[in-house]
Amino acid sequence: MEILRVENLTKVYGKGAAAVHALNNVSFSVKKGEFIAVVGPSGSGKSTLLHILGGVDRPTSGHVWMDGQDVYAQKEEQLAVFRRREVGLVYQFYNLIPVLNVVENMTLPVLLDYREINENRLNDLIATLGLKGKENHLPNQLSGGQQQRVSIGRALMNAPAVVLADEPTGNLDSKNSQEIVELLKASHKKYGQTLIMITHDETIALQADRIIAIEDGRITRDEVIRR
Amino acid sequence: MNVLNKVIWQTMKQNRVRTIVTIIGTVLSAALFTAVITFCSSAMNYLYKTYTYESGTAHVEYENGTMEQYQELAQDDRVERLTAVTAVGYSQLTEKNNGVPYLFLASGEAEFLEEMSVRLVEGRMPKNAGEVVIPSSLFRLDSEAYGIGNWMELNLGLRKTDEGYEWNNQYCAYDAETGVVQNEMFEEFSSFEHTYRAVITGVYDAYYTGGAAYMVMTCGQEALTKAAVLDLYVTLKEPSMELDDFCCEHFGEDYRTRWDEIRINEELLMFEGSFEYVNESYFVLSLAAIVIVLVAAGSFLLIYSAFSISVGERTRQFGLLASIGASRKQIRRMVFVEVLTVAAIGIPAGMIFGVGGMGTALFFLGDKFGEFRESVYRLDLHVNLWVLLLAAGIAAATILLSAWVPAKRAAGVSAIETIRQTRDIRVSRKQIRVSWLFENWLGMEGILAKKYYKRDRKKYRVTVLSLMASVMLVFSVSGLTMQLNRWLESYDSGNVDAMTWLDYKVALRALDTIRGLGSVDEVTAGCASGMLDIYKEPGKVTTEYEQSEISGMLHINYIDTSTYEQLLKACGYDHAWKQYQETGEAMGLVLNSENYVDYRMDSEGKVSRIMAQMTWFRDGVTELLKAPAVETLAAGAEEVGGYLMKHQWLVDESGEILVRAFYCNETGEMVGERDYQPEILPIGGLIEQVPFGFGENSSSDIRILYPFSVCPDFKIDGQSAAVWLCFKTQNANRMIEDVIRVLETSGVICDPGDFINQQEAEKERENTALVIQVFSNGFLVLISLIAAVNLFNTISTNLILRRRDLAMLTSIGMTESQKRRMLRSECGSCVLRALLWGSAAGMGLLLLIRQSFSLISEPKELIPWHSIGWLVVGIVLIVTVTMRYTLRRLEREPLMEVLRRESV
């Protein structure tokens, strides 16, 4: 079943002679529960694609359909609700709120949605992510790997249909990197989520079901390696 | 171009709004510094000019000089100018003299006349010993006899006492009626040494009109050479450096204690800027110091917060530069280059605005400074290079000082720390409890705001502090203005437009004519004389008065018959008027209630000023008991062989009221006592309304009013009585001229200076109020602008600095309205804190201000609500505008860009 469809997505930065096509007429679709690795050299447009999928950046033209809904047909306020309910974003630099502790950072999207926190899910996530005993720590009291776990926790807390990860291991050593990938894969399996991950690491890419390669804003390869 | 400077300038260009706002702040503070210093310089110049106009330019005056000393002083290189003057002699004015019975001839050098306070109003200065200038008061006395070109012939001599001491140009008592000097301490001239003839060449404006003689001046060396004693006037080149050495050398080391012959002109030295002579009570400088400190504090906070935030914002930039090899010194220099760039633009611009602003203010208000010091000059703008350098120096020092801490912090940034961003936010690990109320009231956004505030307190401290300082400044300046205005308003002249004192005979003779003048609406004449000791008789006096500590002294006042008649009739005592007309027997009218200002001391010795109101006697009282006259009581002293010490009231066993007098011997030992029967004082009635001219704010005296006709012999304490005349008029200046003309026909010469012109004083008070208002409001506006710029700067940069956090919150689904709510809560909490703490501190200042005013006026309100209202509205407005502006600016940046750029 299709969960995500991208049609003729184009993103242009700048104007006239200085215009840069970060994405150039990109189209693809994603099935529910798929794990996709997006690869490509620096500046190829991977992050732009991911941010547009996550509702963070608006495309210059084209459409993103999530669960049958045209994402960018929504108003700004609706888009914010979309971001907190439908997608979970994981960044390379964790992007945690420095003044909030582990639990507060993880539950932030739920709180922003004015909903009750699902304690079972929270405890489950804390246990799964290996953050037991660190609940009240602030980001600057955690290691890089731990901070990334919190950021994954935040992305998963609302049980989004799609998890988007922008080089989640780019800032970590190989041991921590493998652990983070394992965690993402585990939750992808456990909660049946769709996972789209940007990575430079070939071994990680090879663990995905499908690899999309991007170069100069165009898809140069879209290959299903595992069914 | 230095590459680091390029980085700085590029950064400044990129952060255009912050740079402009910081420059505006610098311009404002430099403008304020310059304005304050320019004002001080102008005021000092004005005071200097006024002072030298009145008193000349000499730093040292020596009265017992000789020709040798004169020549010795003339040789001294330190002396810039030296002039001498000598007394030639006195001559008696026998005909018209208007209370000044002598002419005094002084002879000086030509320079003396030019440099001292001799201001010609007509004619020219004398050129030799055969020419004189006369004071305008003498000219007015008889303009025909003393006209320019007329010859004067004076028989000159000296005034001596019985012991042979010479008299100076001092006060002497004389009888206006006879024009004869009555003081028997003088021995009149026994010999006239010589006759002096000279032609009058000019009339000068005499600043000082009192004394025993009109001073006529001539010039010429001959008199000086012949004179045994000279008055020497010395102006030094460098008085602040050389004065003490100079005086020790020429006048002896004890010169400071010989104040009767050597006077150091400290006021002049102060106005010339020799600060060791500054009198502490001199307010301009102390006020300026306070204002400069306030402005410096405001500017310090502004620039400190601007740079501290700017440095914080660029921590990563500095770290990056450090990582590629920039030394601490280079980084520190970078901050200073930024500071200097801002200063180089801001200070000169500020100085132009400051001088221009003060120039404009003084252009319009310069002539309204009369109340501070009567002067022929107006307060004009006076600036010189030193003044400008001082202003620039203070502004630059404040700016450099306030950038010092941020610069040090920037230099202390370590490369790896900044790249890892661990120092971006120094959060405290404290658990933060959020109250149920807070959670429910402000919701998720409020909680987030609270956590930001609590865990990152340092960053908010600057904002809160600068806001707090603004609140305090607004509180204190508006409080000060309010109290000053109240003080000016509280002055009550008792409806009197003008008044003067005259000899009683002259006054009574002229009163009816004066009353008939078209320009006089109303006039009363009165005088006070003697006191009676009245018994506080229960049943007659009010309980309030009986219990008070006020003594029973009744002050006797005499008023003119017409006013007495009016009072009697107004109070319905027509029968008393009739009786007076028929028998000449006048009943006293008692002013039965008094509003007065009282100063009370508490047990700790603290004095407080209160407005008291007292009613003395109960209705229907027609008789009072008074103690016998002192002469009667003193008569008993002879019997017991002592002196009258005191007397007191007592009630004996049979209930009879007596006055007991006590007598003592020369050693103060009590030697006896005697009882006297009190006397009955019949009174015509009690009156509630204070008659016109008696003033409403007076002392706690009980007053009884009689017509002049019953005054025993118009002598008060053995001296001829002077009475006051109080006038009501539409135009005091015209009325005074009319009255002067009427008095002239009675042979009394006076000038407008002999009148107290309340209308004029009122105008001057209004001018003063206007000046105070313009200056304090101008100051308030500029300080508020600095505070506003400061607030804009701190809040906007604080928000911009958090753009990554905000972007992050947006990326995980925070809506714009949620973001605004969060920031509103944050700003609200800063503003609330600043308002609370600032108000608390401001209240303290207000109390101090009120305390210092409580002894001179009636401070009713404490809090300038009006200003506080504006303050709150202003703060809310600025915060809202700043937030809107910053958020809009942040919205323009693509979220992804922020997230990515800020992560590098």
Tokens of B204: 């000068």
Chain A residues with CB-CB distance to B under 8 A? 47-48, 51, 54, 56-57, 76-77, 80-85, 89, 91-93, 95-100, 104, 108-109, 111-114, 136, 138, 140-141, 154
Tens of pLDDT along B198-248? 899 998 876 555 567 788 888 887 777 777 788 888 888 888 778 888 888
- Mean pLDDT estimate for chain A: 87
pLDDT at A196 over 90: yes
Question: For residue A81, what pLDDT band results from cuts at 50, 70 and 90?
Answer: confident
Minimum mean pLDDT range among B57-61, B335-339, B593-597, B643-647: B593-597
The pLDDT assigned to B696 comes to 47
Residues B203, B142 contacting (CB under 8 angstroms) = no
Region B790-812: what's the mean pLDDT? Answer: 79
- Test mutation, B803, B896, B904, chain A, max A CBs within 10 A: B896
Shortest alpha-carbon distance between residue A109 and chain B (Å): 6
Cβ separation of A99 and B443 shorter than 8 Å? no
Residue of B424, B818, B899 lying closest to A112 (CB–CB): B818
Closest alpha carbon within chain A to B417: A140
Cβ separation of B812 and A98 shorter than 8 Å? no
Cβ separation of A99 and B456 shorter than 8 Å? yes
Residue of A48, A81, A100 lying closest to B451 (CB–CB): A100
- Test mutation, A95, A106, A136, chain B, max B CBs within 10 A: A95
Q: Is B554 helix (H, G, I), strand (E, B) or coil?
A: strand
Shortest alpha-carbon distance between residue A227 and chain B (Å): 31
β-bridge partners, B601: B607
Tell me how far apart the alpha carbons of residues B828 and B831 are, in angstroms, rounded to a whole number: 5
The pLDDT assigned to B710 comes to 78
The pLDDT assigned to B39 comes to 85
Minimum mean pLDDT range among B112-126, B174-188, B515-529, B621-635: B174-188
Q: Is B804 helix (H, G, I), strand (E, B) or coil?
A: helix
Residues B757, B732 contacting (CB under 8 angstroms) = yes
Residue A159, φ and ψ in degrees, nearest 5: 50, 55
Closest alpha carbon within chain B to A111: B444
The pLDDT assigned to B18 comes to 76
Against a cut of 0.80, is the pTM above it?
Answer: no
Closest alpha carbon within chain A to B425: A98
Residues of B in contact with A108 (CB under 8 A): 809, 812
Residue of B444, B448, B809 lying closest to A114 (CB–CB): B444
Residues of B in contact with A80 (CB under 8 A): 810, 813-816, 818
> DSSP states of B155-209 as a string?
EEB--EETTSPBP-S----B-TTT--B--TTEEPPS---EEEEEEEEEEEE-S--
Residues of A in contact with B442 (CB under 8 A): none
Residue of B444, B805, B900 lying closest to A97 (CB–CB): B805
Q: B321 exposed, middle or buried (CB, 10 Å; 0-12, 13-18, 19+)?
A: buried
The pLDDT assigned to A64 comes to 93
Q: Which residue has the higher pLDDT, B348 or B332?
A: B348
Cβ separation of A92 and B903 shorter than 8 Å? yes
Residue B439 near chain A (CB below 8 Å): no
The pLDDT assigned to A36 comes to 93
The pLDDT assigned to B720 comes to 60
Percent of all residues in chain B with a pLDDT value above 90, rounded to a whole number:
2
> From residue B156, how far is each of A68, A152, B87, B212, B520 by CA, in Å?
124, 114, 11, 15, 44
Residue B433 near chain A (CB below 8 Å): no
Residues of B in contact with A72 (CB under 8 A): none
Residue B440 near chain A (CB below 8 Å): no
Q: Which of B281-285, B752-756, B820-824 has the highest mean pLDDT?
A: B820-824
- Test mutation, A116, A140, A152, A172, chain B, max B CBs within 10 A: A140
Cβ separation of B813 and A112 shorter than 8 Å? yes
Residues A87, A54 contacting (CB under 8 angstroms) = yes
Region B588-617: what's the mean pLDDT? Answer: 74
- Mean pLDDT estimate for chain B: 77
Residue of A57, A81, A93 lying closest to B813 (CB–CB): A81
pLDDT at B427 over 70: no
Question: For residue A180, what pLDDT band results from cuts at 50, 70 and 90?
Answer: confident
Region B91-113: what's the mean pLDDT? Answer: 75
Residues B139, B203 contacting (CB under 8 angstroms) = yes
Region A130-141: what's the mean pLDDT? Answer: 88
Residues of A in contact with B425 (CB under 8 A): 98-99, 140
Q: Specify the DSSP class assigned to residue A91.
A: -
Minimum mean pLDDT range among B407-421, B696-710, B735-749: B407-421
Cβ separation of A98 and B425 shorter than 8 Å? yes
Cβ separation of B899 and A56 shorter than 8 Å? yes
Q: Which residue has the higher pLDDT, B816 or B277?
A: B816
The pLDDT assigned to B350 comes to 92
Question: For residue B425, what pLDDT band results from cuts at 50, 70 and 90?
Answer: very low
Residues B179, B747 contacting (CB under 8 angstroms) = no
Tokens of B822: 């969060």
Cβ separation of B814 and A112 shorter than 8 Å? yes
Residue B329 near chain A (CB below 8 Å): no
Question: For residue B890, what pLDDT band results from cuts at 50, 70 and 90?
Answer: confident
B224 CB contacts (<8 Å, ≥6 apart)? B67, B70, B84, B86, B107, B108, B109, B230
- Test mutation, A48, A99, A107, chain B, max B CBs within 10 A: A99
Region A156-177: what's the mean pLDDT? Answer: 85
pLDDT at B96 over 50: yes
Residue B815 near chain A (CB below 8 Å): yes
> From residue B485, how far is each of A31, B90, B94, B491, B772 by CA, in Å?
80, 50, 51, 10, 8
What is the arrangement of strands in the sheet containing B498-503, beginning at the earlier edge strand? B623-626, B679-687, B588-591, B702-707, B553-559, B522-533, B722-728, B498-503, B755-757
Whole-complex ipTM: 0.76
Cβ separation of B903 and A95 shorter than 8 Å? yes
Q: Specify the DSSP class assigned to residue B620.
A: T
A101 CB contacts (<8 Å, ≥6 apart)? A135, A136, A137, A138
Region A6-22: what's the mean pLDDT? Answer: 87
B618: how many CB neighbours lie within 10 A of its CB?
15
